């Protein structure tokens, strides 16, 4: 019986072109990109070229691209960074997210609750989409951040992040979106999407 794999949204087989592109760095060009010797400089050039490719793909500036190990690390980097910095600067400690986020966002928010933050988990409809009006009703004077996934990793539901970003802008609130499932599947223009932090892998 032929096996069929249906979990490509979680992880997928490495594309042959990606394997071919990465092979030299696994076999020969393995220098530390932070080193000043020729091995390191060669890898540093490749990293910066990759940064430019990704930036052009999503209409970002290369300086806005950070490489991390996973979407989970990227989400943690943004959520904890914004929450803690905003609390130190403005004493705002309220964060809004949804009940249909990726578990790494849910887990991060649960940890923020342990650190004394107030987390509001917005309800979603049967298709796991959040209504932007629901988000706006939860915003208060202590809200520092809204985090809403763009494309749901389990249901494929698409949230209207542009409308949500407009609401956040109106209320002077940071907006973060997990776009891991969006990258490479739908066109992303970060200058139009309106979020402060986009997470893609």
Could you state, in order of their start, the residue ranges of all structural domains in the chain? 16-64, 71-199
CA 56, 61, 63, 66 torsion-angle sign: negative
Tens of each residue's pLDDT in the chain, 201 residues: 889 998 887 788 899 999 999 999 999 999 999 999 999 999 999 999 999 999 999 999 999 999 999 999 999 999 999 999 999 999 999 999 999 999 999 999 999 999 999 999 999 999 999 999 999 999 999 999 999 999 998 999 999 999 999 999 999 999 999 999 898 889 989 888 877 765 554
Instruction: Determine the pLDDT at residue 47.
Output: 96
Percent of the chain with pLDDT over 90: 82
Do the beta carbons of residue 95 and residue 120 sit within 8 Å? yes
The yes or no reply on domain 71-199 and CATH 3.30.70.360 is no
Give the start-end residues of each E strand in the chain.
94-98, 118-122, 143-147, 174-178, 197-199
């Amino acid at each position: 019986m032929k096996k069929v794999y249906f979990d490509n949204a979680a992880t997928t087989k490495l594309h042959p072109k990606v394997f071919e592109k990465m092979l030299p760095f696994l076999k020969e060009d393995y220098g530390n990109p932070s080193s000043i010797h020729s091995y390191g400089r060669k890898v540093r050039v490749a990293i910066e070229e990759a940064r430019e490719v990704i930036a052009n793909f999503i209409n970002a500036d290369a300086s806005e691209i950070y490489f991390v190990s996973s979407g989970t690390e990227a989400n943690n980097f943004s959520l904890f960074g914004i929450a803690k910095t905003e609390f130190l600067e403005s004493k705002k400690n309220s964060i809004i997210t949804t009940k249909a986020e990726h578990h790494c966002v849910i887990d991060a928010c649960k940890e923020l609750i342990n650190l004394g933050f107030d987390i509001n988990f917005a309800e979603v409809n049967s298709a796991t989409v959040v209504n932007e009006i629901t988000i706006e009703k939860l915003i208060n004077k202590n809200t520092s951040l809204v985090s809403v996934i763009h494309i749901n990793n389990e249901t494929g539901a698409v949230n209207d992040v542009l409308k949500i970003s407009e609401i956040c802008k109106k209320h002077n609130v940071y907006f973060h979106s997990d776009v891991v499932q969006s990258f490479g599947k739908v066109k992303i223009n970060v200058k139009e999407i309106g979020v402060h932090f986009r997470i893609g892998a």
